[in-house]
Amino acid sequence: MTDYIFIISNGEEIPIIFEARRGLRNITLRPKITPKREIHISKPILISVSSAIKFLEQKRKWLESIFMNAPQKISIKDGDTVEFLGKKVLIQHNSAEKSNFYSKNSRAGENILIIGGTSEMLTHRVRDFVKNEFLAEVKKIIKTVPSEFHPKKVAIRDTTSRWGSCSSTGTISFSWRLAFAPTEVMRYVIMHELAHTKFMDHSVHFWATVSKLYGDGVGRAKLWLIKNGHGLHKYF
């Protein structure tokens, strides 16, 4: 249920979603910045909502920091320029088209993405186009490494806490938001997860494998994500 609002210092109202769970011993808070800005509170059944709100207020400084530092969503409109996968792309809507595609008539050095369908579906279509292009680019990069590092399956997610993950079953997942990162940063995350196919830890051997796959600059790419990663969620 969502009957409560958390108001941060700039006046923004963040909906609070409660969930009462059997077997839960403690109250847990999960601030979310995508796809909606919300605070999810899980509480034991016997704990009152007022007690959960009191606990939330005790964590106000931490919560405000998350929402104040997280980027506000930017709506994509016809005529906007968006940078993804290392190139700046001009978005042009053409309702007469049924599909989405790069214009073959674009001027030298200019990338134009034609988005078909209704104007109401423009944002949805741009997002799906970026996700598909990102997945194709990930698979292309994976092919550049020795086959012994190839995963059984590649999946894309929309996560806020992890840029990538590698399961014991051989599936590697990536946040498609990496499409908005510099290409070398995106490539670093890919190599990071490929290294996990051999080492499911962060040992010396793991980092040596990451450096072997990626080359020079692992530290720079990692630092860029720490400093700028939150900005990759500004769209959609």
Give the integer Cα–Cα distance in Å for 26 and 5: 21
Cα dihedral sign, 160-166-169-171: positive
Query: Contact 14/36 with Cβ under 8 angstroms?
Result: no
pLDDT at residue 34, as a whole number: 74
Is the pLDDT confidence value at 184 over 90? Answer: yes
Domain ranges of the chain: 4-69, 81-233
Determine the angle formed by the axes of helices 218-228 and 183-195, rounding to 10 degrees. Answer: 110
Mapped to the 3 state alphabet, what secondary structure does 113-146 carry? EEECCCHHHHHHHHHHHHHHHHHHHHHHHHCCCC
DSSP 8-state symbol, 107: P
Express each pLDDT in 73-122 by its tens digit: 888 999 999 999 999 999 999 999 999 999 977 666 679 999 999 999 99
Read off the pLDDT band of 207 (50, 70, 90). Answer: very high
DSSP 8-state symbol, 169: T
Is the pLDDT confidence value at 1 over 70? Answer: no
From the candidate CATH numbers 3.30.2010.10, 2.60.120.260, 3.40.50.300, 3.40.50.10800, the one assigned to the domain spanning 81-233: 3.30.2010.10
pLDDT at residue 73, as a whole number: 80
Express each pLDDT in 8-47 by its tens digit: 998 889 999 999 998 899 999 999 887 778 999 999 999 9
